[in-house]
Amino acid sequence: MPDIIQLLPDNIANQIAAGEVIQRPASAVKEFLENAVDAGATEIRLIVNDAGKSLIQVIDNGKGMSETDARMSFERHATSKIKKIDDLFKVRTMGFRGEALASIAAVAQVELKTRRAEDELGTYVEIENSAVVKQEPCACPVGTNMCMKNLFFNVPARRNFLKSNAAEMRHIVDEFIHVAMAFPEIFFSFTANGIEQFHLEAGSLKQRIVQLMGNQHSSKLVQVKEDTDYMNIFGFVGKPETARKTRGDQYFFVNSRYIKSPYLNHAVMSAFEGMLPKDSFPLYVLFIDLDPTQVDINVHPTKQEIKFEDEKIVYAFVQAAVKHALATFSVAPSLDFTLNADIQQLDAVSKPFTNNEQENASGSQLYQTFTQKHQAHAIEGSNKSELKHWKEFFTPLGREGEQREQSTPQGSSSASGRTDSYMERGTTSNRQEKAAQGHWALPGERALPGLSGSGSAFDDIGGISGGGMEGLYSLEMSTGRQLAPNALFIQLHNTYILAPVNNGFLVVHQQLAHERILYERYSLAAHSHNMASQQSLFPSTLELAPADAVLLQDLLPELKAIGYQVEPFGKDSFIIQGTPADITQGNERHSIELLIEQFKHFSSDIKFSKREKLVRCMARQQAIKTGQVLSQQEMLRLVEELLKCSTPNVTPTGSPTYLEYKEDYLDKMFGR
Q: In what order do the strands lie in the sheet with 565-568?
A: 533-543, 573-580, 565-568
Higher pLDDT, residue 551 or 472: 551
Using DSSP's 3-state secondary structure scheme, residue 195 falls into: strand
For the cut 50, the answer to whether the pLDDT of residue 302 exceeds it is: yes
CA–CA gap between residue 108 and residue 202 (Å, rounded): 32
pLDDT at 391 over 70: no
pLDDT tens digits for 531-545? Answer: 777 887 788 888 887
Q: How many CB atoms sit inside 10 A of residue 242's CB?
A: 19
Does residue 426 carry a pLDDT above 70? no
Helices 100-107 and 25-38 meet at what angle, rounded to 10? Answer: 140
Where does the pLDDT of residue 552 fall: very low under 50, low under 70, confident under 90, or very high at 90 and above? Answer: confident
Beta-strand ranges (E) seen in 515-667 are: 533-543, 565-568, 573-580, 658-662
Name the CATH code of domain 10-200 (choices 3.40.109.40, 2.60.120.10, 3.30.565.10, 3.90.700.10): 3.30.565.10
Of the candidates 44, 48, 339, the one whose C-alpha atom is nearest the C-alpha of residue 214 is: 339
Find the helix packing angle between 510-528 and 610-622, rounded to 10°.
140
Reported as a pLDDT band with limits 50, 70 and 90, residue 310 is: confident
Interhelix angle 632-643/510-528, nearest 10 degrees? 50
What pLDDT is attached to residue 42? Answer: 95
Pick the range with the lowest mean pLDDT from 256-265, 371-380, 661-670.
371-380
**Residue 525: in which H helix or E strand, if any?**
helix 510-528
User: Mind giving me the DSSP string for 17-51?
Assistant: HHHHH-SSHHHHHHHHHHHHHHTT-SEEEEEEEGG
Give 362-396 as a 3 state SS string.
HCCHHHHHHHCCCCCCCCCCCCCCCCCCHHHHHCC
- pLDDT(617) > 70: yes
- 426 versus 619: the higher-pLDDT residue is 619
Q: Which of 584, 561, 560 is nearest to 574 (CA)?
A: 560
CB neighbour list of residue 273: distance below 8 Å, 6 or more residues apart: none
Domain with CATH 3.30.1370.100 in the chain: 446-672
User: Could you give the CA distance from residue 485 to residue 453 in angstroms, rounded to a whole number?
Assistant: 26
- Residue 140 and residue 143: Cα distance in Å, rounded? 8
Q: Are 218 and 319 in contact (CB under 8 A)?
A: no
Per-residue model confidence (pLDDT) at position 15: 67
Pairing assessment for the beta strands 573-580 and 565-568 based on DSSP bridges: antiparallel
User: What pLDDT is attached to residue 336?
Assistant: 55
Confidence of residue 9 (pLDDT cuts 50, 70, 90): confident
Least Cα distance to 58 among 148, 167, 141 occurs for 148
> How far out from the chain centre does Cα 153 lie?
34
DSSP-based three-state secondary structure for 95:
coil
pLDDT at 345: 55
Per-residue pLDDT band for 573 (boundaries 50, 70, 90) equals confident
Give the model's confidence band at 514: pLDDT under 50 very low, under 70 low, under 90 confident, else very high.
very high
pTM higher than 0.85, yes or no? no
CA angle 150, 153, 154 (to 5 degrees): 150
Q: 559 or 393: whose pLDDT is higher?
A: 559
Query: Rounded mean pLDDT of 201-214?
Result: 89
Closest CA to 491 of 513, 464, 459: 513
**Strands laid side by side in the 658-662 sheet:** 490-492, 496-501, 504-509, 658-662
- Is the distance from CB of 38 to CB of 93 less than 8 angstroms? yes
**Separation of alpha carbons 83 and 89, rounded Å:** 12
Of 126-140, 200-214, 229-243, 339-353, the one with minimum mean pLDDT is: 339-353
Q: What's the whole-number mean pLDDT along residues 236-251?
A: 82
More confident residue, 581 or 69: 69
Question: Is the model's pLDDT at 467 over the cut of 50?
Answer: no
**pLDDT for the residue 97:** 54
Predicted local distance difference test score (pLDDT) of residue 43? 95
Higher local confidence (pLDDT), 304 or 671: 671
Stretch(es) of the chain classified as CATH 3.30.565.10: 10-200
Task: Please tell me the predicted confidence (pLDDT) of residue 464.
Answer: 29
Q: Which residue has the higher pLDDT, 117 or 305?
A: 117
Kindly indicate the confidence band of residue 120, based on its pLDDT and cuts at 50, 70 and 90: very high
Confidence class of residue 59 from pLDDT cuts 50, 70 and 90?
very high
Tell me the three state secondary structure of residue 357: helix
Confidence band, pLDDT 50/70/90 cuts, at residue 522: confident
Over the chain, what is the mean pLDDT? Answer: 76
Looking at the chain, the whole-number percentage of residues with pLDDT higher than 70 is: 69
Query: Residue 202 — pLDDT band, cuts 50, 70, 90?
Result: very high
Among 25-34, 384-393, 428-437, name the one with the lowest average pLDDT: 428-437
The whole-number average pLDDT for the span 618-647 is: 87
**3-state DSSP assignment of residue 646:** coil
* 260 — pLDDT class (breaks 50, 70, 90): confident
According to CATH, the topology of domain 213-328 is Ribosomal Protein S5; domain 2 (3.30.230)
* Nearest in space to 37 (alpha carbons), one of 65, 71, 69, 62: 62
Higher pLDDT, 364 or 158: 158
Q: What pLDDT is recorded for position 139?
A: 92
Q: What confidence score (pLDDT) does residue 623 get?
A: 86
SS (H, E, C) 436-502: HCCCCCCCCCCCCCCCCCCCCCCCCCCCCCCCCCCCCCCCECCCCCEECCCCCCEEECCCEEEEEEC
Residue 26 has pLDDT above 80, yes or no: yes
Q: Closest Cα to residue 318, out of 289, 277, 295, 275?
A: 289
Give pLDDT, residue 456: 35
| Domain(s) of CATH 3.30.230.10: residues in the chain | 213-328
pLDDT of residue 377 exceeding 70: no
Strand partners, 535: 578
Cα separation, 470 vs 464, in Å, equals: 8
**What are 478-506's pLDDT values in tens digits?**
445 667 666 788 898 889 999 888 788 88
Say which residue, 665 or 37, is predicted with more confidence.
37
- 3-class DSSP state for residue 656? strand
Highest mean predicted confidence (pLDDT) among 131-135, 183-187, 258-262 = 183-187
From the list 202, 192, 145, the residue with the least C-alpha distance to 169 is: 192
The answer to which of 196-200, 386-390, 487-491 has the lowest mean pLDDT is: 386-390
pLDDT-based confidence at residue 113 (cuts at 50, 70, 90): very high
Give whole-number Cα distances, 546 to 203, 342, 453, 570, 600, in Å: 19, 18, 36, 12, 14
* Stronger pLDDT, 384 or 190, i.e. the higher one: 190
Distance CA 600, CA 244 (A): 12
pLDDT band, very low/low/confident/very high, at 286 (cuts 50, 70, 90): very high
Please report, for residues 239, 341, 417, 663, the alpha-carbon distance to residue 222 in angstroms, rounded to integers and kept in the order given.
6, 20, 48, 57
The rounded distance, in Å, linking the Cα atoms of 309 and 10 is 36
The β-bridge partners of 542 are 574
* Contact by Cβ (8 Å): 218, 209: no
- Look at residue 468 and tell me whether its pLDDT is greater than 50: no
Q: How many helices (H) and strands (E) does the chain have?
A: 21, 22
**Contact between 200 and 177 (Cβ < 8 Å):** no
Does residue 234 register a pLDDT over 90?
yes
Superfamily of domain 446-672: MutL, C-terminal domain, regulatory subdomain (3.30.1370.100)
